[in-house]
Amino acid sequence: MNDQPVLYDSLKTILHHIDANLRINMSQRISSIRAVERAVPRKVRYLSITDTTVEINDVRYELGVYRCYPNEDVLYAVEIDFDCFGFEIPDGSDSILSGDISVRTDTDERRHNLPPPFNCYIQLSTMEDGEVTPLQRLAYTRKLYEAVKHFNHVLFANRPVIQVNELVCLDNHVYRIPVGLKISANKLSVGQSKIASVSRILEGDVNTLEVSRLENAENWWQHYLVQNANELFIHDSLSAEQSGLMLRSLGNKIIRFHNQTYLTIENDCELIESWMSVKRKTGAELCIELRYKKNSNDVLEMIQTRMEVIRKDERCVTIRGENGTHIEVCEDDTMHHRWAVKVKIVEN
């Protein structure tokens, strides 16, 4: 009896350092450790959630409906449900369950009461290093979204905050997650229209936020999650005027901006001026992605005609800032292998 607390603490320590996928596998195979495993905060390097998949580190778990036709050995996988007549149930018609986060933007046929010409199963599979491994096949007695909900409950329910280095939420449907799930993420990749919904499962702010324009959302940059991120990556199609308005309202230490709309060299200089018009701390950075390598040199040349230049060289122009600071405007080729210009506030 006296050894039990030592064994319990030792197991907790071991589980704390074990890969998340191995912990999942162990918990399913060894029922005696499930309570302990559930109590130990899970650390995940990479987590991506869609409506039918969960990717944890290097392993993707996927649930799908498989159709099996008579006299055929081939299974046909789909990610949708079927009605009792064998017709596909349209996306957006399935229920939203307690705890779910809906990020979707929301053909009716009949077979004259004939049974479907195939049998259905729900299959759980994993993919790792390009190899698909079927884990479990169940009778099609529940809808796919219900099976996904149950699987995610097994993965995530009744646990302390899950610590994730990189969280990706770019799907456009419904995240079937358990009630009370909380994730502490260092980096989050999310569509701009989904920021408010995804923020509900986050514990605290994120250090790095990457926002993509999957669907338009007005003034998304005003959300506290965006404002509080230390480093902000933006992929958008804003006009030059809207881009300037956005940059003036953002106080993030590091901003990396990829505008998918064509902007002129003058527009790029105006964005730099908009960013500079707000008081910022030493070390603050703005990186603007450019369409061509030549554009970076064009920006440096035009900046010299619009601001007071202290010094310059082939790849960098230094202009006078406020309160004893200087502002460096330099060519930059480190932004996702694209050409860019970087603006940084430095001490005198």
pLDDT at 158: 92
pLDDT, position 107: 45
The residue type found at 284 is A
- The pLDDT value given to residue 141: 86
Q: Report how far residue 343's alpha carbon sits from residue 288's, in angstroms, rounded to the nearest whole number.
A: 8
DSSP characters for 246-262? HHHH---SEEEEEE-S-
Q: What are phi and psi of 163, to 5 degrees?
A: -95, 115
Tell me what pLDDT residue 6 has.
Answer: 47
Counting as low any pLDDT under 70, the low residues of the chain are: 1-6, 71-93, 104-117, 334-337
Taking alpha carbons only, the member of 269, 332, 330 closest to residue 305 is: 269
State residue 1's pLDDT score. Answer: 44
Q: Is 303 exposed, middle or buried (0-12, 13-18, 19+ CB in 10 A)?
A: buried
If phi > 0 it is left, if psi is from -120 to 50 it is alpha, else beta; for residue 97 that is beta
For the chain, domain boundaries: 1-40, 42-58+143-346
Span 54-77, pLDDT tens digits: 999 999 999 988 877 776 655 555
pLDDT at 91: 61
What are φ and ψ of residue 5, in 5° steps? Answer: -60, -35
pLDDT of residue 315: 86
Looking at residue 323, its pLDDT comes to: 75
Question: pLDDT value at position 120?
Answer: 81
Q: Are 161 and 44 in contact (CB under 8 A)?
A: no
pLDDT digits (tens, 9 = 90+) for 119-146: 788 889 999 988 989 888 888 888 888 9
Buried/exposed code over 113-128 (b: 16+ C-beta within 10 A; e: otherwise): eeeeeeebbbbbbbee
pLDDT of amino acid 199:
95
Residue 117, pLDDT score: 66
